[in-house]
Amino acid sequence: MLGMRSLGDAPQACMAAATALNLIVPLRRAAAEKLKLSARELDVLRIGSLGVIETAEILGLSVATVKFHRDKIRRKIGNEPTWQQAYVRAQKVGVLD
């Protein structure tokens, strides 16, 4: 088809758009490695200020998968009771700029 991208290009396009809009927070790799966060967990964390649905769309994941990764991040960062508290803690421990 003329001018059409494959469906496989959609997540990369969404990630590029999110980056251009400054929705993706830079990471500090050393702090992230200390917490043993996976690459996908880091992706979810970097877009953590957005909602679950928006994060799923940008990364090309299901909402359930994003929630799964958020729960793992929450436990690794300090067993915070909510995602918002885990996100703030990630900033405080130096994972996010």
Provide the CATH number for the domain around residue 48. Answer: 1.10.10.10
With respect to residue 97, please indicate whether it lies within any of the assigned structural domains: no
Predicted local confidence at residue 18, as pLDDT:
56
**Stretches in the chain below the pLDDT threshold 70:** 1-29, 97
Phi-psi region of 64 (alpha: psi -120 to 50; beta: other; left: phi over 0): alpha
Distance of CA 36 to the CA centre of its chain: 15
How close are the terminal C-alpha atoms of the chain, in Å? 42
pLDDT of 64: 96
Residue range(s) defining the domain that contains residue 56: 10-92
pLDDT at residue 1, rounded to an integer: 35
pLDDT of residue 94: 81
* Per-residue model confidence (pLDDT) at position 3: 40
Alpha-carbon distance 16 to 56, whole Å? Answer: 14
Return the structure tokens found at 78.
């300090």
**Rounded to whole angstroms, how far apart are CA atoms 69 and 3?**
34
**pLDDT score, position 46:** 84
pTM: 0.67
The answer as to whether 79 is a domain residue is: yes
